[in-house]
Amino acid sequence: MQTSNGVDKKGIIKALIFATFLAFLGIGILGWQYRHIEKEQIPALEEKIEQKSVEAVLEKFMHARIEQNKEISWGYLTERAVEDLNEGKFSLLNNMARYEIMNSEKLALNQYRYAVKIYEKGGVNDFVEIITLVKILDQYYIDSVTLGG
């Protein structure tokens, strides 16, 4: 139905209804995609960020050991690790030249285990340590260090 000035009111109403329908359909599709991403990709990203945080603590600990800085190294240990150190289960300060992270795995919530190969100066007595880190409050600490293999 056209008015005297040539405007089709029913056509305009149909176009508005169709545009509104398309807008709601687009919003629905975007919402579905967001929920899909939220369920699958965001937890994986959070896990990667958490693991990088753990590795940063491990690297600081290992660098302090290489630099023979007992005070800084000691600050990364939990009470359990200090007990193991006092019992002679591992040595905090060796003749380390460098290290290499060989393997990592998540054990439980807020707990990770790393296999670290330690190269001593002179390259004679290279060895592997299994280092477990645990989260206490908002910070990761070395919970245990054992000789591998």
pLDDT digits (tens, 9 = 90+) for 20-54: 999 988 998 888 888 877 777 777 788 888 889 99
Cα-based angle 59, 62, 66 (whole degrees, multiple of 5): 135
Q: What are phi and psi of 106, to 5 degrees?
A: -90, 125
In a domain, 93, yes or no: yes
pTM score of the predicted model: 0.71
Q: How high is the pLDDT of residue 32?
A: 85
Q: How high is the pLDDT of residue 4?
A: 57
Tell me the residue length of the chain: 149
Q: CA 34 to CA 43: how far, in whole Å?
A: 13
Single out the residue of 83, 141, 146 nearest to residue 118, CA to CA.
146
Q: Domain range spanning residue 81?
A: 36-147
In a domain, 26, yes or no: no
In a domain, 6, yes or no: no
Based on the structure, what is the number of domains in the chain?
A: 1
* Regions in the chain scoring below 50 on pLDDT: none
